[in-house]
Amino acid sequence: MNIPGLMRNRRFAVLLFLMMVLVSGCSRQMVRTEKVKALIGTTWRAAEINGVRVVFLPRQQLDIALVLYRQGHIRGYTGCNSFMGRYSRNVDLLSFTPEERTDMRCSPEIMAREREFIKALREVSRYEISGSILKLFSKDGRKVVELIAVRAY
């Protein structure tokens, strides 16, 4: 048995294994970066709030939507009013603080959905992006909002 050759093969195998681990770590980081790019600067239109499909209501002006900006700011529209605020993100953790909102009056249905949307945003603690779908979850793991990417900047 050739011990020096065996030791060289083991060293090569260990080196190869370490390189594979390093490369796989880099690819995971690249995926996270792509998710952040998709999350930030994209217009996300609400498709579902608390399990209820969002449909365009009579007299509704615009879609319910939001955009996250790199500086930690959010802007959005509730179907009646526009709003702005802040968000914080750490890997897949996400939280929103809607702060200011215009004060237009719309139909009772639109106003009720606006309140539900803003309340759901305040409950968000985690997110997942799959393709063009953004899912927002509460601390207890319940999906509170599902959004669809409609435009990226």
pLDDT at site 29: 33
pLDDT at site 11: 63
pLDDT at site 22: 43
pLDDT at site 34: 56
pLDDT digits (tens, 9 = 90+) for 34-54: 565 689 999 999 999 999 999
Q: Is the dihedral of CA 113, 118, 121, 123 positive or negative?
A: negative
pLDDT at site 31: 35
Low-confidence residues in the chain, pLDDT < 50: 6-7, 15-16, 18-33
What are the C-alpha distances in Å from 121 to residues 7, 46, 62, 68?
A: 58, 11, 18, 12
In one-letter notation, the amino acid at residue 152 is: A
CB 105 within 8 A of CB 78: no
